Amino acid sequence: LWPYIGCAITLVACFSIPTSWGQTAQYIFFFLSYTLLNAVFFTANNIAYASLTALITKNTSERVQIGSFRFIFAFATKIVIEAVTIFAVGWLGGGVVGWRMIAIIYAIVGLITNTYSVFSVKELPEEEFTEEENKEETKEENKLTFLQSFKLLLKNKYYVIICCSYILTQLYGSVIGIGTYYTKYILGDETIFSTISLAINVTMVLSLTVLPMVIKKLGGMYKLNIWGYALAALGRVGVLVAAYMGSLPLMLAFTAISTIGIAPLQGDMNALIACCSEYTTLKTGYRLEGMMYSCSSLGIKLGGALGTAICGWLLAAAGYVENAAVQTVATVNMLNFLYLWMPVIINAAVGFLLVFLSVEKANKDLIAEKSK
């Protein structure tokens, strides 16, 4: 509850820089507001919010549904935000005033929905998560220092795999974002990227809608995630081939196919992290849901930062010139590498990691062993 109040205040603050201040003071004001918004308040809120997946139900199917619905609304909201924000800013007066007003509106909407969510869910009692005979022992053992908890995380190989996968998926998002430059300088029309984004977001929403039913039918997430990323890698190979053929319709079609493959992991990631948390509890008796779910925030921050930085460094090294009518051959080749080849490599790497993410089976084996 409380961190989102900070989110709302700092979001508005980012668009309320005092005009009477000097430029240095304005930069400091924005830096503090932006850093508090993203690195402090949003991180605290998001980790707690994601952790609820493991704390309000023990049923894997329900956890997948929660994760799917979470991202269905996330991507649907993204589509709406991208479609209406610019028009709304103009309608609200344009310029600084318009952006400040839209920030205030989004902050209020966020406060209402977050507060409603806080008071609408209830965490399961401690007893639901521990065997009756081990209850007292588990409660005593749960008193861990941060360093002890962190060491336990690193001993959970499934957590490490999921954390690396999360970083790679965020890196993937960054290289896909380079599509704005690719469409501008190679396809000759930067507005095409909006069409590509729409193909990704709509396909993701539709895929996440059916995901819980597919996972329930297959009886687990493991195989679906692996085959999904195999399809995602093949889809991006299709985008690559279509791009060199010069066929935009085929690029859009294969982009959608790749997105279908990515969707399962996007939707069941929270459920997988809950399984990783359960694995640590079964192995050691400790419960570390909050720290487990920090991997999602770590992935967003580290993967996003690395992706943006790497793309910037590589383009600069290739000789990119902002707004140049014609870019150098080296820059064109680099854009092709980043937007066409890198997604194939990243998807293949994630698919490889997922082969080792058999945490569902590991948990079943541990439970069977304990019941003997």
pLDDT tens profile 98-112: 999 999 999 999 999
Model confidence at 133, pLDDT cuts 50, 70, 90, reads very low
- What sign for the dihedral angle of Cα 31, 36, 40, 41? negative
Checking if the pLDDT of 346 tops 70, the result is: yes
Considering 90-94, 139-143, 346-350, the range whose residues carry the highest mean pLDDT is 346-350
Q: What is the pLDDT of residue 368?
A: 86
Q: What is the pLDDT of residue 130?
A: 58
Q: What is the pLDDT of residue 241?
A: 97
Checking if the pLDDT of 148 tops 90, the result is: no
Characterize 78-113 residue by residue with b for buried, 16 or more Cβ atoms within 10 angstroms of its Cβ, and e for exposed: bbeeeeeeeebbeebeeeeebbbbbbbebbeebbee
Mean pLDDT of 344-366: 93
Model confidence at 143, pLDDT cuts 50, 70, 90, reads low
Checking if the pLDDT of 144 tops 90, the result is: no
Q: What is the pLDDT of residue 295?
A: 66
Q: What is the pLDDT of residue 242?
A: 96
Checking if the pLDDT of 135 tops 60, the result is: no
Considering 118-127, 169-178, 235-244, the range whose residues carry the highest mean pLDDT is 235-244
pLDDT tens profile 63-93: 888 888 888 888 888 888 888 888 899 999 8
Q: What is the pLDDT of residue 228?
A: 95
CB contact set of 126 (below 8 Å; sequence gap of 6+): 135, 139
**Rounded to an integer, what distance in angstroms lies between the CA atom of residue 84 and that of residue 94?**
13
- State the chain's mean pLDDT as an integer: 87
Nearest to 231 by CA among 208, 259, 267: 259
Q: Is the pTM of this model over 0.85?
A: no
pLDDT tens profile 280-332: 888 888 887 777 777 667 777 788 888 888 999 999 999 998 878 888 999 99
Mean pLDDT of 114-124: 91
Cβ atoms 87, 80 nearer than 8 A: no
Mean pLDDT of 122-149: 62
**Rounded to an integer, what distance in angstroms lies between the CA atom of residue 292 and that of residue 271?**
11
SS (H, E, C) 279-310: HHHHHHCCCCHHHHHHHHHHHHHHHHHHHHHH
Cβ atoms 285, 141 nearer than 8 A: yes
Q: What is the pLDDT of residue 150?
A: 81
